[in-house]
Structure 1
Amino acid sequence: MKQNNTYKIKDILLVIGLFLVVFVIGADSFIISPLLPAIEKDYVITTAQAALSVTIYALCYAVGSPFFGPLGDRFNKRKLLIVGLLVFLVGSLVCAQATNIVVFYIGRAVAGIGAAVTMPNIWATVGGYFTDKKLNTVMGITMSALSLSIAVGVPMGTLLSQLSNWHMAFWGSILLTLLAFVVLLLVVPNLTGNQKELKYLASFQTLIKSKKALLSLSVNLVWMFGFYLIYTFLGTFLNQNFHFNTAQTGNIFIAYGLSNFIASFCGGQLLSKIGAMKDVILNGFLSIIFILGLVISQNHLWGIIIFLILLALAQGLGVTALTTYIVGVVPDKRSTVMSFNSSFLYLGLTFGSLIGAILYSKVGFTGLGIISAMALGVAIYQTMRLKR
């Protein structure tokens, strides 16, 4: 980050722009969970069929990211962000007007591809523009937009759905995407890639040869699988166990989102003090404890809210630390590395939502919670190996 006043203003505007883009895509990603019961009812489908919309979005994101990631190491990241956001906008438009579940699936797929182009280049832009402690701080602030999207974007979407129907949540997302697009055009600088030619194989080989990169990416995969295994079905559980409507379910997500936002926003300070790996290990252990707390207190609403808030704090701190570590593993291939990071993250989401949909009717919230805790235990073990 530059040290004169002019550049400080530009840097602040850049962070605001990136924050807004992450917020918009995050809101669209997370809003599905509280809307699942309404989607089931509207299309007259099962929970598993409704949850498939989460899986399709995540799968398109996960498969698309490795193909789009190396583009950022070769071409202008600003232009890629613009293209990605436009594709994402088209997907949201399809979802907003979908009259049947198949069209809705298609919209989620297109939105997933748009997110796959956009998000890796967001993290690569942060990693390429900021350094040292400022990188830790800015990464935490930017990632906190995902949390704020849960705290503000998701309840906003559920409120809109209550006023009319769940389609209104996507119309709200479209308006925010247009706003983010305008800001993006104004504040994001031209950051050209450091490669003269686009060589997918060479970029992938560099990543494969880095044991640290592969192991840290696998931590992200298992971590996200464990988390989304239980998070995806939180809205369904609240609806079934407490007979909550969409708006009431959205209010629970406010508590989670605000807590996660605070942890992510301030996570850079803790990260600078204790280091990334210790941060991940500590908050991984705490996440296990809090997930088991959710299981134990599942019939008591206040117990669920308390443990959900604690889980949000641990997740915000842990995931920020992990992402900050990964962005610096292979500095000259940041876009490629972060595209695989996004891919592994959404593969975790894909497997979590898919396997959760299969198991939920069989093992219930308790079973999903236990499996989730076990997965995070594996992620902690992998992190300890990485630390050594």
Structure 2
Amino acid sequence: MKQNDTYKFKDILLVIGLFLVVFVIGADSFIISPLLPAIEKDYVVTTSQAALSVTIYALCYAIGSPFFGPLGDKFNKRKLLIVGLLIFLIGSFICAQAANIKIFYFGRAVAGIGAAVTMPNIWATVGSYFSGKKLNVVMGITMSALSLSIAIGVPMGTLLSQLSNWHMAFWGSILLTLVAFVVLLLVVPNLMNGQEKLKYLASFQTLVKSKRALLSLSINLVWMFGFYLIYTFLGTFLNQNFHFNTAQTGNIFIAYGLSNFIASFCGGHLLSKIGAMKDVILNGFFSMIFILGLVICQNQLWGIIIFLILLALAQGLGVTALTTYIVGVVPDKRSTVMSFNSSFLYLGLTLGSLIGAILYSSVGFTGLGIISIIALGIAIIETLKLKK
């Protein structure tokens, strides 16, 4: 790809196609949370049993992603994206018509595997097809689809579930996935690496030998742990502290999602000006300050909203910069690296939600905020080491 800043029509179509895929998978990942009470009631299960569907999806994603990653360094990324989206589509279909919780678990597991095949190759495709300033801008635009899925996708899903039942949210996801699938077929180019043989061990060894790759992946893990430690329990905190219902809490998350979308969408321009490492350090530091603001102003709704929006902006800019850096750490093993990046992201989410669940009743929102600040501080220190 040439290093100029002009975009051809096929480039724009490719970005739209990748954006749609990320939006669909992101919406499916986040939609399950507001549907848990309805799932619990419909299947006559406990809250923990219903919430297990979230854990199953995350674990299948986290475990499956490194396994499927090297495939993208050997085989045609376009075909892998098609296969991954088909698996994801099958999982969503199983969830949409699941008659009991066990079938629903199975559907979430299949969807998680489909996402594990698809998402790393999305980032790898961006890294392989674009370069220079284009890479920064396109990565930011593509990642912003995750934020938009929170702000728009989740409310759309809950609206569909209210019109009929919670299964409708998954039927809606299926429809969007089909649209994304058609666009994917039309716009994604054939991108192959040309390896003669698929060697898992060699791919993993290349990653392990790269100190930059390992350090950057650990930054992502610690960063996501710190962020999701407090983000996961924000809804619970709002309900307890301000007695918000589901709709009111959803409005707060819409504000967060839209702010994060704006930052991610526009983040590539800032990234091109100051560089990835400075971007990560700067917005990691701002995130610490804004989380501290959330803790200090936790009894004032206006303070919560202001600092949450500011945190969304900092996270959108910082995470975009970190992902853009990681995608270029080992250029000939992009799919492998990004599969581990996805795995570490979901591992950070799992650890943050798990440890937060254990500590929340004893340390509260304040305690989780302090731990979150410490984790982000560690991520900044690691980034300074990486910069050197």
Q: Same fold (TM over 0.5)?
A: yes
2:201 is matched by which residue type in structure 1? Answer: L
Deviates more, 1:150-159 or 1:132-141: 150-159
Where does structure 1 lack aligned partners over 5 or more consecutive residues?
none
State the alpha-carbon separation in 1 of the partners of residues 231 and 49 from structure 2: 17
Where does structure 2 lack aligned partners over 5 or more consecutive residues?
none
> SS of the residue aligned with 2:70?
helix
1:202 is matched by which residue type in structure 2? Answer: A
> Hey, what does 1:298 align to over in structure 2?
298
The alpha-carbon distance between structure 1 residues 103 and 320, as it changes in their structure 2 partners (threshold 3 A), is: same
Asked if the contact 2:30/2:150 (under 8 Å) is kept, the reply is: yes
State the alpha-carbon separation in 2 of the partners of residues 317 and 92 from structure 1: 31
1:159 is matched by which residue type in structure 2? Answer: L
Asked if the contact 2:256/2:312 (under 8 Å) is kept, the reply is: yes
Deviates more, 1:53-62 or 1:176-185: 53-62
The alpha-carbon distance between structure 1 residues 356 and 317, as it changes in their structure 2 partners (threshold 3 A), is: same
Deviates more, 1:364-373 or 1:7-16: 364-373
State the alpha-carbon separation in 1 of the partners of residues 161 and 368 from structure 2: 28
> Hey, what does 2:375 align to over in structure 1?
375
State the alpha-carbon separation in 2 of the partners of residues 5 and 286 from structure 1: 30
2:387 is matched by which residue type in structure 1? Answer: K
1:152 is matched by which residue type in structure 2? Answer: I
How far residue 38 of structure 1 moved from its aligned partner, in angstroms, is 4.2
> Hey, what does 1:197 align to over in structure 2?
197
> Hey, what does 1:271 align to over in structure 2?
271
How far residue 193 of structure 1 moved from its aligned partner, in angstroms, is 2.3
Deviates more, 1:35-44 or 1:148-157: 35-44
Describe the superposition over 1:280-306 as per-residue Cα deviations: whole angstroms up to 9, x where unpaired. 011111111212222232333222221
Asked if the contact 1:34/1:235 (under 8 Å) is kept, the reply is: no
1:102 aligns with 2:102: yes
Mapping of residues 175-186 of structure 1, within 5 Å: 175-186=175-186
The alpha-carbon distance between structure 1 residues 8 and 378, as it changes in their structure 2 partners (threshold 3 A), is: same
Asked if the contact 1:151/1:257 (under 8 Å) is kept, the reply is: yes
Describe the superposition over 1:235-254 as per-residue Cα deviations: whole angstroms up to 9, x where unpaired. 33333433333333222221
Asked if the contact 1:23/1:145 (under 8 Å) is kept, the reply is: yes
State the alpha-carbon separation in 2 of the partners of residues 39 and 147 from structure 1: 24
Describe the superposition over 1:311-337 as per-residue Cα deviations: whole angstroms up to 9, x where unpaired. 110000000000000000001111111
What is the percent sequence identity of the aligned residues?
A: 89
> Hey, what does 1:318 align to over in structure 2?
318
How far residue 106 of structure 1 moved from its aligned partner, in angstroms, is 2.3
Asked if the contact 1:33/1:236 (under 8 Å) is kept, the reply is: no
Asked if the contact 2:2/2:131 (under 8 Å) is kept, the reply is: no
Asked if the contact 2:5/2:134 (under 8 Å) is kept, the reply is: no
1:373 is matched by which residue type in structure 2? Answer: I
> Hey, what does 1:212 align to over in structure 2?
212
Mapping of residues 3-82 of structure 1, within 5 Å: 8-43=8-43, 47-82=47-82
> Hey, what does 1:257 align to over in structure 2?
257
How far residue 363 of structure 1 moved from its aligned partner, in angstroms, is 2.8
The alpha-carbon distance between structure 1 residues 135 and 227, as it changes in their structure 2 partners (threshold 3 A), is: same
RMSD (CA atoms) = 2.1
> SS of the residue aligned with 2:69?
helix
How far residue 30 of structure 1 moved from its aligned partner, in angstroms, is 1.9
Mapping of residues 87-126 of structure 1, within 5 Å: 87-126=87-126
> Hey, what does 2:146 align to over in structure 1?
146
State the alpha-carbon separation in 2 of the partners of residues 233 and 29 from structure 1: 16
TM-score by length of 2: 0.94
The alpha-carbon distance between structure 1 residues 279 and 306, as it changes in their structure 2 partners (threshold 3 A), is: same
How far residue 374 of structure 1 moved from its aligned partner, in angstroms, is 1.6
State the alpha-carbon separation in 2 of the partners of residues 237 and 44 from structure 1: 26
Asked if the contact 1:34/1:249 (under 8 Å) is kept, the reply is: no
The alpha-carbon distance between structure 1 residues 135 and 313, as it changes in their structure 2 partners (threshold 3 A), is: same
Aligned residues: 388
Asked if the contact 2:3/2:131 (under 8 Å) is kept, the reply is: no
The alpha-carbon distance between structure 1 residues 370 and 51, as it changes in their structure 2 partners (threshold 3 A), is: farther
State the alpha-carbon separation in 2 of the partners of residues 158 and 242 from structure 1: 22
Deviates more, 1:285-294 or 1:269-278: 285-294
> Hey, what does 2:331 align to over in structure 1?
331
The alpha-carbon distance between structure 1 residues 49 and 283, as it changes in their structure 2 partners (threshold 3 A), is: farther
State the alpha-carbon separation in 2 of the partners of residues 42 and 378 from structure 1: 43
The alpha-carbon distance between structure 1 residues 352 and 258, as it changes in their structure 2 partners (threshold 3 A), is: same
How far residue 92 of structure 1 moved from its aligned partner, in angstroms, is 1.6
TM-score by length of 1: 0.94
> Hey, what does 2:340 align to over in structure 1?
340
State the alpha-carbon separation in 1 of the partners of residues 361 and 43 from structure 2: 20
State the alpha-carbon separation in 1 of the partners of residues 58 and 214 from structure 2: 20
Deviates more, 1:108-117 or 1:229-238: 229-238
Asked if the contact 1:294/1:303 (under 8 Å) is kept, the reply is: yes
> Hey, what does 1:234 align to over in structure 2?
234
How far residue 93 of structure 1 moved from its aligned partner, in angstroms, is 2.0
State the alpha-carbon separation in 2 of the partners of residues 161 and 311 from structure 1: 30
Asked if the contact 2:193/2:332 (under 8 Å) is kept, the reply is: no
State the alpha-carbon separation in 2 of the partners of residues 378 and 364 from structure 1: 22
